[in-house]
Amino acid sequence: MPTKIEKDVISGRDTTGHEWDGLKELNTPLPKWWLYTLIVICIWGVGYAIVRPSVPGLFSYYHGTSGFSTRAQVTADVAAIAAGRAGSMDKIKATPIEKIGQDPQLQAVAMTAGRITFANNCQPCHGAGGGGRPGYPTLASDSWIWGGKLAEIQQTITYGIRSGHPDARVNQMPRFGADGILKPAEIDAAADFVLSLRAGTKPGPNVAAGAKVFAENCVACHGEKGEGNREVGGPNLHSAVHLYGDSKEAVVAQISNPRQGVMPNWNTRLDAATIKSVAFYVHSLGGGQ
């Protein structure tokens, strides 16, 4: 198509010379305000790219002349908050855990620090809000294995359970099946007895025989009637909340070859005031005694 620039009679403007089926394209200039805005934005963009961190590189990036960094800003903010809190955390460190609740301000700091510490460190095992998961006890009920008083919780968190720390809480349930201490029929009966302790469970056929096995092998840790023994960390077997499964298979498995769950010691990872705060928080979850 030949390009022929001519004037449009109606608007008086030049055409671009493009024509489609008799329609001609006008060569209308960009509005001035639009053009100037564009130029200003381009200049501003170049300036911004020079001053601020902008162009990515293979291993780093162009940092800009202003030295601005969101990471540095976060670090500074965190340091400022930590400095502000340091006073309170020092006070928590110096206050016996039973007295923290008497000072509303201290209590608020302990709860906040405890909640954050719990979410970062404990939640993966104990679940949100300490709800627990199979093998990881709920911390929100009053069914405690090792004790639900503030100092007891603090002790558990500090040194752990079977953590390998010399002051850890330790109790090894014998491997009644794996080590051949009981015969399979005795284990089966003991499981029937254990299940008979739990409300709402249909008792198995060998409860009486199981009671005898229990009396001879289990009371030292689980108590005369299976009520548990916090002194030695033997769980209450009546409790509606268990560490492991509800089914007979799960109970037989536990008696045969106990899991011996490990709770890490936190004294090497968290400072004393933080442990105190998270113990205070755990105590508040609903089961504190």
Residues numbered 176 to 195 that lie near ligand HEC (CB under 6 A) are 176, 190, 194
Identify the residue among 89, 140, 242, 288 touching ligand HEC (CB under 6 A).
Answer: 242
Residue 126 in contact with ligand HEC, rule: CB under 6 A? yes
CB 274 within 8 A of CB 113: yes
Identify the residue among 28, 260, 268, 289 touching ligand HEC (CB under 6 A).
Answer: 260
Residue ranges with strand state E in the chain: 15-20, 23-26
Residue 159 in contact with ligand HEC, rule: CB under 6 A? no
CB 27 within 8 A of CB 15: yes
Per-residue exposure over 138-169, b if at least 16 CB sit within 10 Å of its own CB, e if not: bbbbebbbbbbebebbbbbbbbbbbbebeebb
4-7 own/partner pairs: CB under 8 Å, 24+ apart: none
Residue 283 in contact with ligand HEC, rule: CB under 6 A? no
Identify the residue among 132, 177, 223, 264 touching ligand HEC (CB under 6 A).
Answer: 264
CB of 142 to ligand HEC, least distance (A): 10
From the list 4-12, 22-30, 65-73, 130-138, the region that binds ligand HEC by CB under 6 A is: 130-138
CB 63 within 8 A of CB 53: yes
**Reduced to 3 states, what is the DSSP secondary structure of residue 170?**
coil
From the list 45-53, 67-75, 97-105, 233-241, the region that binds ligand HEC by CB under 6 A is: 233-241
74 burial (CB, 10 Å; 0-12 / 13-18 / 19+) is exposed
Residue 111 in contact with ligand HEC, rule: CB under 6 A? no
Residues that bind ligand HEC (CB under 6 A): 121-122, 124-126, 135-137, 139, 144-147, 153, 156-157, 161, 171, 173-174, 176, 190, 194, 213-214, 217-218, 220-222, 233-235, 237, 242-244, 251, 254-255, 258-264, 266, 278, 282
